[in-house]
Amino acid sequence: MQDRLTDLAIGNILSNAVNIGYRLNLFKAIAEISSPENPVLPEQIAEKAGCKERYVREWCNTLACGHVLEVNEEEKFWIAKENLESLTTDNFALIYNAMLTTILRPIDTLIECFIKDGPYGLDYAVYSDFEEMQQMFAKTTSEGYVVSSMIPDVGHGIQEKLETGIRVLDVGCGGGLHVRLLAENFPNSKFVGLDITEKAIEVARSVKKTDGTDFKNVEFVVGDAGNMPKSYTDSFDLVLLFGSCHDQMRPDLCMLEVHRVVKPDGWVVVTDVDGSSNVHTDRETFGKMAAMKYGGSMLHCLPVGSNAPDALCCGSMWGRKRAVALMNQCGFDDVEVKAMDYSPGSVLYIMKK
Ligand SMILES: C[S@@+](CC[C@H](N)C(=O)[O-])C[C@H]1O[C@@H](n2cnc3c(N)ncnc32)[C@H](O)[C@@H]1O
């Protein structure tokens, strides 16, 4: 086990170094000025990235020893051709390393949360750049499939309805990435994005169309999903929750409200982290990714969803069984559950009022 623990510590250090490289554009700097035939000194990388040579040198040394960067006897560095794309373009694995700093920021308070008389949980405000990182994360995951694969997969004529023009609510919309994707592709439909944090809505309101112009079919509202405006009753044809159900302290109140605001013949679609509600099964099913899923929940989703005495403390790995039970309890008798093959490890819950 001690070897294993040493490997874990090394992995942790390398992950932090990757995060530093991502945030300071150091990988992009190396990629731009070096090649296997033309390796460069840390001072050249530092100059290109606007950083201090001494720090960049230690960063290069660390990642070269971790076989993330290449180094020669003259202590010059480059990125191997086969690693260029992974280290210089936004992708799930790279962003996850960067996201870890964001979710680990309140680690001391999180440790206190474990203690019997410690705080219930964590407020979103303690993650200073959560909204931006969440958007970055959602972009690398959702952008490639929401319109092209997920909406057709939901079925029930929803794509056609979106094309014709319907009223859609995105609950827990965060920085508005999904609203932007859908509003741009379905200009005849009208979208409302609702989120409890001012910061998320501030980020969402700054969102523009790809051509830089303002949306005409989008509105963002600060609000509690467990207590939505009275005027919303029976007013949405489609209600969407992208990974935002388990994060709430009272997802039951939210789903009761969703039941109220969706039209009598309307649809509700919830995306979530997939799990079976049994850790033994999840470890078999998801292999090494299971630890990432449960770990992400432990570090972020559980504490934000536990931050009140009456919180349900779901965590993102609450799983299909518990999620469906809660949806049933909130009036959705028939919940269709579908693995999202185009987004491995995610699940869709589709239901009608
Ligand atoms: C994991 S993030 C997902 C954000 C967004 N849907 C996405 O996929 O990028 C969960 C979001 O739920 C929001 N949230 C949590 N509790 C809420 C509540 N009671 N009412 C509305 N939004 C809430 C958080 O502020 C956060 O933006």
**Spatial separation of the C-alpha atoms in residues 92 and 343, rounded to whole Å:** 11
Q: Two tokens at 291?
A: 């630890």
Q: What is the pLDDT of residue 23?
A: 94
Ligand 1 geometric centre to CA of 58 (Å): 38
Fold of domain 102-352: Rossmann fold (3.40.50)
Going from N- to C-terminal start, the domains of the chain cover 2-89, 102-352
pLDDT of residue 167: 98
Length of the chain: 353
Instruction: Say yes or no: ipTM exceeds 0.90.
Output: yes
Of ligand 1's atoms, which has the minimum distance to the CA of residue 253?
19
How far away, in angstroms, is 244 Cα from ligand 1 center?
5
CA distances from 226 to 154, 165, 229, 255, 261 (A): 25, 27, 10, 8, 11
How far does the centroid of ligand 1 lie from the alpha carbon of residue 268, in Å? 16
Per-residue b/e over 153-181, b at no fewer than 16 CB within 10 Å? bbeeebbebbeeebbbbbbbbbbbbbbbb
- CATH node for 2-89: 1.10.10.10
What pLDDT, on a 0 to 100 scale, did the predictor assign at position 242? 97
Residue nearest to atom 10 of ligand 1 (CA): 244
Q: Which residues line ligand 1 (CB under 6 A)?
A: 124, 134, 138, 172-174, 177-178, 194-197, 200, 224-226, 242-244, 247-248
Specify the pLDDT at position 154.
97
pLDDT at residue 307, rounded to an integer: 97
Q: Confirm if 219 and 246 have CB atoms less than 8 A apart.
A: no
Provide the CB-side half-sphere exposure for 87 (13 A, CA): 26
Q: Answer yes or no: are the C-beta atoms of 288 and 259 closer than 8 Å.
A: no
Confidence (pLDDT) at 137: 79
Task: Please give the distance, rounded to the nearest whole angstrom, from the Cα atom of residue 155 to the centre of ligand 1.
Answer: 25
Mean pLDDT by 10 residues, the chain (353 residues): 96 97 97 97 98 98 98 98 96 90 91 97 86 79 91 97 98 95 96 95 90 93 97 98 96 98 97 98 97 96 97 98 98 97 95 93
> How high is the pLDDT of residue 130?
76
* Cβ-Cβ contacts under 8 Å for 105 (sequence gap 6 or more): 126, 127, 128
Distance between CA atoms of 23 and 58, rounded to whole angstroms?
A: 16
Which residue's CA is minimally distant from atom 4 of ligand 1?
174
Q: How far is the CA of 210 from the centre of ligand 1 (A)?
A: 24
pLDDT value of residue 110: 97
Specify the ligand 1 atom closest to the Cα of 137. 9
**Rounded Cα distance, 353 and 93, in Å:** 37
Distance, in Å, from the CA atom of 91 to the CA atom of 103, rounded to the nearest integer, reads 18
Phi/psi for 163 (5° steps) reads -65, -40
